[in-house]
């Protein structure tokens, strides 16, 4: 049997936004102790479906995208828990505005 490792899995969800012409997309990263990335993704996808079904205010759908990162070390203060690299021709400010800072983001620390 393989040793257990720590895996962070990012799953993406969609739900109807306040403006019905838009969709609210949510990215969640969950942490799993598993024997492989495949096992971590399988478990994360089961949890993703349960999470989506648990939201009563609006219909939430798991969009079927799961990305996995095998942690180099056990979780601890300051540990890297997820990394995703993407090649782009965008300049840094345009890249950030396109993927991370469009102005429409909502984070859990915001009211």
Residue 20 tokens read as 């019905």
Asked whether residue 12 is assigned to any structural domain, the reply reads yes
Judge whether 32 and 46 are in contact, CB under 8 Å.
Answer: no
Asked whether residue 109 is assigned to any structural domain, the reply reads no
Domain count, the chain: 1
Asked whether residue 106 is assigned to any structural domain, the reply reads no
Alpha-carbon dihedral angle through residues 7, 25, 97, 87, given to the nearest 10 degrees: 40
Report pLDDT digits (tens) over 2-46: 689 999 999 999 988 777 788 888 899 999 999 999 999 999 999
Report pLDDT digits (tens) over 21-33: 888 888 999 999 9
Q: What is the largest CA-CA distance in the chain?
A: 50
pTM for the model stands at: 0.81
Question: Greater confidence, 61 or 101?
Answer: 61
Asked whether residue 111 is assigned to any structural domain, the reply reads no
| Full residue range of the structural domain in which residue 17 is found | 5-73+83-99
Listing DSSP states for the chain in one string gives: -PPPEEEEEEEEEEEE-SSTTSEEEEEEEEEEEESSHHHHHHHHHHHHHHHHHH--SS-EEEEEEEEEEE-SS---TT----------SS-HHHHHHHHT-SS----TT--
């Amino acid at each position: 049997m393989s040793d257990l490792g720590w895996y962070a899995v990012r799953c993406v969800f969609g739900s109807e936004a306040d403006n019905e012409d838009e969709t609210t997309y949510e990215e969640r990263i969950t942490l799993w102790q598993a024997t492989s990335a495949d096992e971590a993704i399988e478990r994360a996808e089961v949890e993703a479906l349960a999470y989506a079904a648990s939201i009563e205010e609006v219909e939430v759908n798991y969009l079927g995208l799961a990305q996995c990162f095998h942690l180099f070390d056990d979780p601890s203060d300051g540990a890297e828990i997820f990394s995703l690299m993407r090649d782009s021709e965008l300049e840094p400010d345009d890249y950030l505005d396109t993927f991370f800072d469009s102005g429409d983001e909502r984070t859990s620390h915001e009211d």
